[in-house]
Amino acid sequence: MSGNAMDSVLSLDKFFISQKMLAAGRKYHVFDEAGTRLLYIEQAAFVQLKLAFVAYQDESKRCAFFSFRRAKVFARDYHLMDENERPIGKIEGSQLCDVSGRVLACTRRVAEVTKKGLLILKFFTADGKLIGQMTHGWGQMTHGWIAVRQAILDLTDDPNRELDRRFAICAGIDEFMQYAEW
């Protein structure tokens, strides 16, 4: 992905994530508020029985944006890599850490019904300030798919970009998978 396209995705505060339900494997699209498709994320493979995902600019899969794979089999810990497979950081349970292991932010699972849907995840800075949340929306988006689940990832409470948007998207996809198993 070109630097400009990557920068424009990282500059956003709100993402809409949708999952194609009847697809082979796990496939997601990430949209901005205007409905512009930003990313295509798919389950790449089970690398040594570890679930791996790759985020691409689009379904052609020519330009990778980042990837994340589980650190251990069946764990909710992920290694987050940039487009050149260099480490960006890791997610260890509810903690989002940089490469050195310093906690950047953390997540907290909740189950709270709101007007927009079911609030399931909140993001906090290391010192406890709320910087974002993820809501499963009511209804379905229609992007030419038969069945779609959707979620809204809202980081408007983080105008200083304390949380790298790639961490938030990775945590959101993981929560999406966990929510499907409830």
User: What are 164's strand-pairing partners?
Assistant: none
Contacts of 141 (CB under 8 A, 6+ apart): 16, 18, 148, 150
pLDDT tens digits, 66-84:
998 887 777 778 899 998 8
Q: Confidence band (pLDDT; 50, 70, 90) for 179?
A: low
Q: Provide the token pair at 39.
A: 């990313």
Cα–Cα distance measured from residue 52 to residue 50, given in angstroms and rounded to the nearest whole number: 6
Task: Write out the E strands in 126-181.
Answer: 130-137, 148-154
Query: Predicted confidence band at 106 (pLDDT cuts at 50, 70, 90)?
Result: very high
Predicted TM-score of the model (pTM)? 0.82
Phi/psi at 172 (5° precision): -65, -45
Number of domains in the chain: 1
Instruction: Annotate 41-61 with three-state secondary structure.
Output: EEEEEEECCEEEEEEECCCCC
**Kind and range of the H or E element at 177?**
helix 165-180
Helix, strand, coil shares, percent, the chain, to 5? 15, 50, 40
Give the domain extent around 114: 3-180
7-37 per-position pLDDT tens digit: 888 899 999 988 876 666 678 899 999 989 9
User: What is the CATH classification number for the domain harbouring 80?
Assistant: 2.40.160.200
pLDDT (tens digit, 9 = 90+) per residue, 37-59?
999 998 865 655 566 888 998 89
